[in-house]
Amino acid sequence: MTHIVEVRGLVRELSGGGAAPQTILHGIDLAVPHGQFLALTGASGSGKSTLLYLIGALDRATSGEIWLDGVEMGGLDDDDRAAFRNERLGFVFQFHFLLPEFNVLENVALPMWRRGIHRDDANDRAYEALALLGLEELWKRKPGQLSGGQQQRVSIARAVANDPALILADEPTGNLDSKNAEIVFDVFAQIAGDHGRTVVMVTHDKDFAMRADRQVQLRDGRILADARRGEEIIPPSQRMRQVSHSR
């Protein structure tokens, strides 16, 4: 299979209170290959976080299809969607959501304990994930004993510990200073480049987006531009005009 994510004609509408439905996403088509580091960008309200949450099976589309690793999400009931998320997806959010009463290793292992994975196996996986991120020496510390950047790296370790097919990150550097944001970005680049995992990251940071393998820019619920690393961000309509003029 070439693509781990395939989005076809995706529409998301919000309605309520008797008002006319508000369309958040307008017929999005997107395919993401295995092992790619993709940055979703756009102004606030452009629909990028909505798209990420739909891809992550945290929300349901109004119409269209979302295929993840060969499975069409719309055909799953809520229990099956939850099982798919827990077993095959990893999530990293702007806030790390670490539990202060547990140490670092326990925070990383806890989701696996809840899924019924034997504690010894879960702890081994948690330690390996921490080692991947250079945090193995901090495994006994509580979150309050870590810097903000270290806490976010622990949340990334938690996301990758179960070897997910896809990692989804929503503004993971939004609350970090520039030094720690750089470290976290480099971690995602390493996870995708050296370990072959697919990463889709929502970010407002233009520099980070340009350094990802690919940048998809949204505006008003539509894809405005799609570019590989090193390419200029050009809207599809303008790109088509350039092609026609070059003939």
| Per-residue pLDDT tens over the stretch 171-183 | 888 888 888 888 8
Mean per-residue pLDDT for 88-114?
Answer: 91
pTM value is: 0.86
- Per DSSP (E only), the strands in 76-187 are 89-92, 166-170
Q: How many whole angstroms separate alpha carbon 8 and alpha carbon 27?
A: 7
CA 167, CA 89: separation in Å to the nearest integer? 6
| pLDDT tens per residue, range 225-241 | 998 876 766 665 565 55
Q: Select, from the ranges 111-115, 123-127, 171-175, 240-244, the one with the highest average predicted confidence (pLDDT).
A: 123-127
Q: How confident is the model at residue 104 (pLDDT cuts 50, 70, 90)?
A: very high
φ/ψ of residue 196, rounded to 5:
70, 15
Q: Is the pLDDT of residue 18 over 70?
A: no
Q: Strand pairing partners for 126?
A: none
CA distance 82 to 119: 21
